[in-house]
Structure formats: structure tokens, C-alpha cells
Amino acid sequence: MARQGPQRRRSPRAGRPVNRGAAPPVQRGLARLAIVILLCYAGVALGIGYWQGLQAQALTNDPGDPLVAALRDEPRGRILDARGTVLALDTTVDGVRVRRYPQPAAEPVVGYWSPTLGSSGLEQTYDADLAGLSGTSPVDALLRKFGASAATPLDVVTSLDMRLQADAVKLLGKQKGAIVALDPTTGRVLALASTPSFDPNQLVAPGSGAAYLAGLSAPGNAAPLLDRATQGHYTPGSVFKMVTAVAGLGSGAITAGTTYPDQPAEDRTGFLVDGFRVVDGDHPWTDDTALDLVQATEVSDNIYFAHVGLATGAAALRDWARRLGFEAAIPFDLPTAPSQVTSGGGPLDGFVDDVELANAAYGQGTTAVTPLQMALVAATIGNGGTLMRPTLVDMVRAGSTIVQRTTPQIWQEVLPPAQDQILREAMTGAVESAWGKPIAGSAAIPGVPTAGKTGTAQLGGSGEPHAWFIGFAPAAAPRIAVAVIIEQGGHGGEVAAPLGGQLMGDWLRMSH
Amino acid sequence: MSAFEVLVWTLRLAFLGLLYLFLAVLARGLLRDLRAATSQTVRAAGALLVMAAPAGTPAVGATMELETISTIGRDADNVVVVDDPFASTHHARLTFRGRVWYLEDLGSTNGTLLNGRPVQGAVPVGFGDEVAVGQTRFRLEPASGT
Amino acid sequence: MTTPSLAGVHPRPRGRETSLLALAAAALVVGWLSLATTQAGHLSAGDPSLLVIYLVAAAAIHVLFVMTGRRTDQVLFPAVVLLGGISLLFMARLPPSLVTQDAGPAGVLTLAPLQLVWLVLSLSVIGTLAVVVRNDTWLRNYKYTWAAAGVTLLLLVFLFGVEVNGVRLTLRIGPLAGQPSELLKIILVVFLAGYLAENRALLAGTSLRVGPLDLPPLAYLLPMLAMWGIALAVVVVQRDLGAALLFFAVFLGLLYVATQRTSFVALGLLLAAVGSVFLYAVEPTVQVRVAIWLDPFAQALGSGFQIVRGLYAFGRGGLLGTGLGAGLPSPDGTLAVPALQTDYVFAGLAEELGAAGAIALIGLYLVIAERGLHIAARGADDFRAILAAGLTLVLVLQAALIMAGDLKLVPLTGVTLPFVAYGGSSLLGSGICVGLLLALSDAGVEAPAPPPALTRGERWRARGRSAAGRLERAVR
């Protein structure tokens, strides 16, 4: 390395064999090459960002992912009702792990889980807990699963009571409809039935499940996969009057004693609103009495409530409806569809005009509700004006260790108890009083003061109306609130009210 | 999170962090190097003639062309490498600024001498001046070819 | 490079290299702890003998560099050590029975120990070349000899090679099996460097005008193209499409560096496109490769299986990865992604280290690229510059190619990730590249090192000065 003697140091570019100055120095070419290399790697980095950032979730959820396949063979937790009855569990068929559902009547709540056909219901909502993957992060879950400690599948304990659920399904029978029953003081859902339903055991059967599913989804079938209780959209008819009453009282537009002098006459001739004639049903026993709130509820007077609606005004009506849970998906352990007071878009705070407002006030117009929503309305009135958050799951546990427990939560204080008392009386009267009995009396539970409201939702055209009933019992300190709907079942008082009363009565007996 | 999970997360993040630390330590230096190297080679504005080198290298009488900023020391990545046991790894720095060469000592153990006097701070050096690093002595000369 | 001399050996401190190696060692130790802890379920160092041997080997070579006192680049070696260490960690994490080799008296070696052997050999090659190679005449003056050697090697493989997975890549001599294509890349780069350096001016200065196009002068380009044509044809016949692609890319890169005529590169790309279309039309395997590149999920259980599984691995990794040792397990020795230790090692590392780790890996290859190009830019003459650029391209483009292939950005090719994938031939070939790069980077006793702190003003002035100097010489 040492050079001997004085020498000039060779300059970096000396000794080059040929340089006529025609070839540009390599440095520039190298600089450009550096840029090209940088671009190549930038492309790779973008690819990494794409697959490991944007698409990571989609990839790991893909059933083809070997991780999913590995999980498929892992044990899955059970779903139980409040008294310990098993609603969903693992079994092995020919060495393959398959889900089994001993109580198909719990169908809309429990759902199903199949490695190839997806999942629904609580099997879907609580999938991570049931699979034992719930942790502080998905990566943690993986670590636990494939690392030192195996993951523990958790059991989900629901608030359902299987006896009541089976009862509800039996009462619905072969009709299309839904029943929701909950405890108004805690918000725990005791039964949630939607018919027609399907047999989840057949759906998860390996091999034949796909064909069964295809059969269920075939047009002409009455949509057995739809959970009518949480996602069915129906015109409410007269049961909506309770919402109008809440809005009227709450906003101060009316009081318990408010009457409309023209109302008896309008009962007979109809009530003209901007050229549209609001017609009333038939209750000759009220004669010419101008009805107050309680009485109007007892006989379900459309004219009265149309007046109340107009007096309350569109904005206030929607506002109070929202406090009851309208116009948004109800936060719940199952997917829910929002209920609406109006389809919106009109100049009158969403309503098209006063006609629509008046019609909506007694449950026609473009109102559309879910049975769950109406059950919540009944529960609110029964619970002194306080709406409790509806829950379906009591706790999630691993063996005897409780991982997560649900406590009752106040969702909204809708009405002060004093005002709510009026509505309580109104609904009690609707079932028990002399004026109300002819309409809703079939819901009365022998020996127990029952509160309720029927509804017969006209659908226009020549089809039968929906039969509705909402109610709670015992009226003073209710332990159960229900909503019943029979799609195109006919008259609410004849078809839905008896079911509601029967169900509530059965519950009071069971839960003694 | 259990203690074990915390431990594993810590180790994982530490590993990634050390990888990035390795890259970060290099980052700025590398970019600078490449830009300097691929823009035209810097022509020297001076050279050091080796007057005395008891260590053997660089050879006495050799001329070392200087960069605009040239470091002198024992470490292999200096511009002028002296294998002198009395020199520090990064001993001194000659910088060409304006039209003048400046010499500064880089915190060496034995100091840098300019014409026999210790150097404090950045001191201007003229052609013909003698710089002593350890036991090696150089003389600043104009660059060859200019 | 200076003339060989026995007296010129002086130990010199290499501070930067020492601190970088220490940092790399620290990272690898922490990584090993992470792996062992994850696998054991509690804080543990597992059996660290593999890592210890590796770090000792790296330290030994570093000491060798210090003792021989050559003024070689101080960043390349630590970067390579870090990459090799990551490889070792990953191989330790995979099921050991994936690869076994009977090593006679040493017993049967499994995956990680085998990779360790190759890594240590590769590091030794780097050390040897960096220290011993002081003269480039043997590379520079015998370019046609080198070219002939390369073609001979190719023909040997063609005639006597062993088919593995339908690709005839391996040459077996007694108990040793290797993939000469690694050596071939280097030989051809040496040839190219010599040829281009010699004829650079003529190539860049004159051209054949055909209509609006500027074509290179055929008389000079022809021998080179012929070489390339033979090499490519044989490679393609062997179905090693990755190597062919790599050769061609390196060729174009070096051509550009030497002549800086973008028209040549454009022509080259055009030829490549024509060739690709031709191959696609004629060769069914190419059609399959393109099909599974475009939509691997359509053949998720068939030919697209590997790609699909690789993508799932990336997805599972997410941003921070699953942690070393916590990726999808292979309980019965079969891998979640086929060829995880060779073709898809990048996906495996991305799964366990996440996008963060994958980008760090890219960073390491960029470091190698920068250092290599820097060595090229500082090369004493054109030959060294082009040679260094070529060696760099071989390493860096190969890495980018397989990374992009794993990510489904380009069709998957069979090239391996340098210093990370399992494979003796790959490691030795990459080692030769880095060793030669280090040898080329020797700044000599007098040659300048990069200015550490140029202000912008000084840079501009320096540029002006050198441009003036150039002009003078050109005019002279």
C-alpha cells in the first residue's frame, strides 16, 4: 500500500483508457440509476402498505386464510339462556366439529355459525368471544392462540328465558310476525321471536347446509332469514298513538285534560285537514263526549290524536320520537333497523304537509316501525318514563369466571313520572276499562291489572291490515313489556292482543 | 394484558426499534455521501506533502490531495490516514473556506501543531506551513495541476 | 487498488464499522430473545449457540479488517451481518426438519445450523475477498475469458444439471450441489464492465440513425449482444426466468450508466417486451405464471396456491407483525406458505415483523444500494465504477424482484432474497458480490473519502470548480 518516493497521487479520473469527452461521466448515470432503484423499492413499499395495511383485514377474514381454517377446528363457546339452558354448542359429526342448536325456537337471537356459510345473530355478534379470540388486540389474540397459552372459548349467557321464548314461538304459530318481550326496569330482553323461522341445525349441517340456505332464500319463501323483530319495518297503526301522546305531553302541547270540542262531530263526519278527511273507527259508546287523553286512548280515537299531532307540531313529534329511539339504529346485540316517523324530505320538518303529520299522529302516513322499537315504547311508559337500554346478553364467562357482565343502563329519561302516570292510566284503561274492553280487552290477564294498546295498521289496497299490540303488566309495577305484530293478521284487538296478554300472563306465572 | 404479553410486546418493539435505529444512524450520512459522490468529483484546492512519518505510512515525500473538508487521523475513513500511534482516530480537520485553508483540532489526545504551535479553534493555514499530527508532519502545498 | 505489498499491513481503527456492528448485534440479540421468549412462554434465551457462533464469526472478520488496515467501506459489512442475522433468526423459527443434510461426523444438520454454516462461509468469503483482492487486472484484462467461462458453466448445467421442480438449476459434483446461476451473474457483470468501460466512448459517441431512432453502433454492440443472447437463451431454456430477467435488467442498467443514452435503454426495453410477448405465446409455463400473477385467487387451490398463501401471510402480519415465532405454526412440518425458507422468506418475515419490519428490510437493501453506488461513483476509473454498479445491481435488483414477486406486483420468479433466503449458492454468490465491492472500495492511502459536511454553498462552488476543470481537459 505504501508508495516509495515522491509521487503525485493519481487523480481519480486519470488512467482512463479512452476519453474523447464524448462519454458523459458515469456519476450522472449512477445518480439516475440510484433514482430508478429508489423508485423500484418505493413500489415495493407501496405494495407492502397495500397488502399489510389496506387489505390486511380483508385477507385475514377470508375463509381461505389458513388462520381461519385453523380456527375452525378450535372449540367454540356455548350460548345459554338466563337459566342455563343450552342454546348453542359444539358437537362432532364424523370427526368434524359442527355447531348444534337444541332449541331452534331461539333462532333469531342465537343465529347460526358455519365455517363456510357465515354467521348471524349472537353467533356473529359475539364471534370473537365464542371463538376465544377476544383480547386487547387481534394480534394479541393470535399470540395467545399460537403461543404459550391456548385461548379460552367463552360462553355467552343471554337474558332470554327459553320457556317464554318457546311460548312466544308457539303463540305465533304459522303466522308471519314477531314478538318482543323485555323487562322494562332493566332492559333485559326476555323473548324475541320472529316467524316463520328456520332450523339452524340444517343450515350448519356440513354438505347439505348450502342447499338448505338456497332454499330458504328462494323468492316466494316468506323470508325466514329476516329477523322481523329487529329489522322488520311495519306501519304501526294505532300503537303509534302512544308515541304521539308522549310527544304531546312532553312538549307541553297538551295536558291530560285537553279536549277538542269539534272532535265528537268529526268522529262521525271525519276531520278535514287541508282537504283530506281523517276518518275514525267505530266506538258508538262514547256518544258525543269530547274525549280527553285517557279516554281517547281507551277508544283509540284517530281524530283526537290527529289534533294532538297537529298541536304538537312536526319538529316536536320527531324530537320526542327520537328520544324513544326512533330515527337511528337501536344499539343492541343484534343488528337493528331504524324506525321512522316520516320518510322525510318534506318541507314541514321532513313531513310533506299537515296531512301527513295528522296521519302519522295516529300511526298511518309514512311511519314505519320495528317491533323492538314499539316494545321499547311500551317499556318506557311502564317504567315511569325512563327508557332502559335493551340488552340481550347478561354476561360472558369462561367457566365460572365472569369476563364481562352487563348492568342495566338508563338510555333516556323521556318523561317525568308524573306525566308518565297519565299514559300508564291511559293504557291500563285501554285494556281494563269499560270503554276500552271492547277493543283491547282480550289482552287482559285474569287477576292482574294489564296495560296495553292495540293497533290495526291499514296498508291501503285490499290487503288485510297488520295486527299490533303493545303492553305491559302488572300495570303499576310491570315486570314485562311486549310488542306483538302479526303481518296482515287483521284486527289488532282480535289477533294480536290475545297473544300479548297470554304471553305476559304466562311470564308472570313462570317468574313467580 | 398479562405480564408475559407485555414482555413479548416489549421485546418485539425493541427489536423493530433497534432495526430502525441502525437505519437512522446511517440515513443522513448516506444520502449526503451519495449526493456528494454522484455530483462531480470535487477537485482539490490543496495538497499535503508528507515531510516526516516515523510510522511508515503515509510515505515520506508523498503528496496527498485534499478535499474541501479533509479529516486527518488514524481511523480508516479519514481523508488522510496516518498510522501514527500518537495520533487519535479523528485527529484534525483541514477546511477550505472562502479562499483560505483552516486547520482545527478535533479534540485529539496529543493536540495538533501548526508550525510548532498548538492549534486552538480554527486557524488559517497558508501554503508552506507545517502541520504536525502526532509524530507525522505535513506541509500544505497548492494542488497539483492548477 | 494499489500494487500488492507485504509491508503495507497496518492495523487501523474502524470506528464506524465497530459501532454499527455493535448495534446490529444488539438488535439480533433482542430479536433472538423475542423469538425464544415467544416460543417458550416465559422469558428465555433458548439455545443461543447459533447466534453466538454467528456474532463471533462477524466479530472475527471485523477484527481481520481492522488488522489488515485497508480503507474499505465501513457500512456494507454491518448491513450484511444484520441481514444474515435476521435470516438466522427466521431459520431458527421455522421447523428444523425442513432441510436436512448429512454432515458425516457432525451428524445430521437441520435448517438453522445449515444456514449458519452457509452464512459463516459467506462472511468468510466477504472477508477474504475484501482483504486479499488488491488488484483488478485479473478481472479487467480477461473479459472474454470470463465470458467463455460463463458460457461453459451454463452449458455444463444444461447438459449435466439436475432438474429440481422442473427447473434445471443445480449442478451436482459429488456431494456438493450448487446453483451456478449465482456465479454466472457475477461473471457476466465482470465481462460487461470490462467491455463497456473499454468501448464506452464509442458506444456513447456514435450511433446508427435509423429513421427517428438512435441505435447503438452495431459493430460494438454486437459481440455483447451475442453474449447476452446466448446467456439468455440458455437460461430461458432452463426455465430460470428470474435469472434471465435479472440479467437483462442489469445489462440495461450498466448500459445506461456507461453511455447515458436513454434511447438504448428504450430499445432494450422494447426488445424485452417483444421477448416477453413471444415467450408468453410460446411457453405454457409463462402463461401459467402470468395467469396466477393476475388473479391467483381464481386458482387458490391449484397453481395460485403459493401466491395466495403468501398474501395471507402478509395480511396476517399487519403493521407490526405477529412477533417472531408467533406466525402461523406448522405443527406437522408443512409450511403455511410453500417454500417459505427460499422464495417466500420475505412474506414470512413480513408476517412476523409486520409492515414495519418489511420496510426496515427494504431500508437495509437501500443501504447496500447506496453504498454500492457510492463505491461506484468514487471508483478510480470507469471499469471499477461499472463493475461496482453491476455488482450492486445484481444484489439490489434481485432483492426488489423477489419482494415485488411475493407481493404480487410482478409475476413470481425464482430469485432469492440475498443474505436472507436459505441457500448456500445464493449466500456464496451474494458474498462474492459484497466482497468484491469492498475490495473495490479501498480508498488507498491517499485517495479521498467523502466530505462529511459540505454546506450548500461549498457544494455549488465545488461543482463549479470541477466542471471548469473538465471543460479544460476536454478542450485540451
Residue B80's closest CA among B98, B99, B97, B94?
B94
Q: What is the model's pTM? A: 0.62
From residue C168, give the alpha-carbon distance in Å to each of C165, C171, C180, C241, C426: 8, 8, 11, 11, 16
Select from A40, A44, A148 the Cβ nearest to the Cβ of C407: A44
Chain A residues in contact with B47 by the CB 8 A cut-off are: 9
Question: Cα–chain-centroid distance for residue A470?
Answer: 17
Does B4 contact A at CB distance below 8 Å? yes
DSSP H or E run through A466: strand A466-473
Q: Which amino acid is at A163?
A: R
Does B47 contact A at CB distance below 8 Å? yes
> How much is the pLDDT for A14?
30
Q: What is the pLDDT of residues B82-93, one digit of tens each?
A: 888 889 988 998
In A8-31, which positions are buried (b, 16+ CB within 10 angstroms) versus exposed (e)?
ebebbbeebeeeeeebebbbebbb
Q: C350: distance to nearest CA of chain B, Å?
A: 12
Sign of CA dihedral A47, A52, A57, A62: positive
- What strands lie across the sheet with B112-114, from one edge to the other? B63-65, B47-52, B136-141, B130-133, B112-114, B117-118
Tell me if A4 and B39 make a contact (CB, 8 A cut-off).
no
Q: A2: distance to nearest CA of chain B, Å?
A: 6
> How much is the pLDDT for A36?
93
Tell me if B38 and A27 make a contact (CB, 8 A cut-off).
yes
Q: What is the pLDDT of residues A60-87, one digit of tens each?
A: 766 666 665 666 667 788 999 999 899 9
Chain C, 327 to 366: residues with Cβ < 8 Å from chain B are 353-354, 356-357, 360, 363-364
d(CA B55, CA C61): 25
d(CA A428, CA A472): 9
Q: What is the pLDDT of residues C416-469, one digit of tens each?
A: 899 999 988 899 999 999 999 999 988 764 333 333 445 555 566 656 655 555
* Other residues' Cβ atoms within 10 Å of the Cβ of residue A367: 26
Q: What is the pLDDT of residues A307-361, one digit of tens each?
A: 999 999 999 999 999 999 999 999 999 999 999 998 888 888 889 888 999 999 9
Question: Cα–chain-centroid distance for residue C179?
Answer: 14
**Percentage of chain A lying above the pLDDT 70 cut:** 89
Q: What is the DSSP letter of A442?
A: G
Select from A16, A21, A64 the Cβ nearest to the Cβ of C300: A64
What ipTM describes this predicted complex?
A: 0.85
Does C319 contact B at CB distance below 8 Å? no
Q: What is the pLDDT of residues C305-354, one digit of tens each?
A: 888 888 888 887 888 887 787 776 554 445 777 778 888 899 989 988 98
The C-alpha R_g of chain C, in whole angstroms, comes to: 23
Q: What is the pLDDT of residues C65-113, one digit of tens each?
A: 999 888 888 999 999 999 999 999 999 888 777 777 776 677 778 888 8
Contact A212, A180 (CB under 8 A): no
DSSP H or E run through A420: helix A417-432
Q: What is the pLDDT of residues C274-309, one digit of tens each?
A: 878 887 887 787 888 888 888 888 777 777 888 888
Select from C33, C367, C454 the Cβ nearest to the Cβ of B23: C367
Over chain C, what is the mean pLDDT? 80
**Residue B50's closest chain C neighbor by CA?**
C446
Chain B, 116 to 145: residues with Cβ < 8 Å from chain A are 144-145
> How much is the pLDDT for C166?
52
Count A/B contacts: CB-CB distance under 8 Å: 50
**Residue B144's closest chain A neighbor by CA?**
A8
Contact C218, C361 (CB under 8 A): no
From residue A159, give the alpha-carbon distance in Å to each of A155, A218, B71: 13, 33, 79
Tell me if A148 and C370 make a contact (CB, 8 A cut-off).
no
Task: Mutate one of C3, C16, C30 to test the B interface: name it (highest B CB count within 10 A).
Answer: C30
Contact A395, A404 (CB under 8 A): yes
> How much is the pLDDT for A4?
37
Tell me if C38 and A147 make a contact (CB, 8 A cut-off).
yes
Please report which confidence band the pLDDT of residue C161 belongs to, taking 50, 70 and 90 as the band edges: low
Residue C322's closest CA among A42, A60, A152?
A60
Task: Mutate one of C34, C83, C381, C466 to test the B interface: name it (highest B CB count within 10 A).
Answer: C34
Chain B: touching chains (3 or more CB pairs < 8 Å) = A, C
Tell me if C404 and A20 make a contact (CB, 8 A cut-off).
no
d(CA A506, CA B8): 55
Chain B residues in contact with C39 by the CB 8 A cut-off are: none
Count A/C contacts: CB-CB distance under 8 Å: 209
Q: C319: distance to nearest CA of chain A, Å?
A: 6
Please report which confidence band the pLDDT of residue A115 belongs to, taking 50, 70 and 90 as the band edges: confident
Residue A400 neighbours by CB under 8 Å, 6+ apart: none
From residue A157, give the alpha-carbon distance in Å to each of A160, A186, A403, C446: 9, 16, 11, 81
For chain B, how are helix, strand and coil distributed in percent, rounded to 5? Answer: 25, 30, 45
Residue C337 neighbours by CB under 8 Å, 6+ apart: C306, C309, C310, C312, C313, C344, C347, C348
> How much is the pLDDT for A294?
92
Tell me if A8 and B63 make a contact (CB, 8 A cut-off).
yes
DSSP H or E run through A352: none
Lowest-confidence region among A38-47, A162-171, C236-245, C286-295: C236-245
From residue C291, give the alpha-carbon distance in Å to each of A71, C283, C297, C404: 30, 13, 10, 16
Q: Which residues of A are catalytic?
A: 238
> How much is the pLDDT for A145?
47
Select from C14, C37, C321 the Cβ nearest to the Cβ of B7: C37
Report the number of secondary-structure helices (H) and strands (E) in chain B.
Answer: 1, 11
Tell me if C385 and A149 make a contact (CB, 8 A cut-off).
no
DSSP H or E run through A189: strand A189-195
**Percentage of chain A lying above the pLDDT 90 cut:** 51
Q: What is the DSSP letter of A351?
A: B
Q: What is the pLDDT of residues A388-432, one digit of tens each?
A: 999 999 998 887 778 788 999 999 999 999 999 999 999 999 999
Does C31 contact B at CB distance below 8 Å? yes
Place of cell 473479459: C143
In A44-75, which positions are buried (b, 16+ CB within 10 angstroms) versus exposed (e)?
bbebbebbbbeebeebbebeebbbeeebeeee
Residue A87's closest CA among A118, A111, A62?
A111
Tell me if A15 and C445 make a contact (CB, 8 A cut-off).
no
Count B/C contacts: CB-CB distance under 8 Å: 184
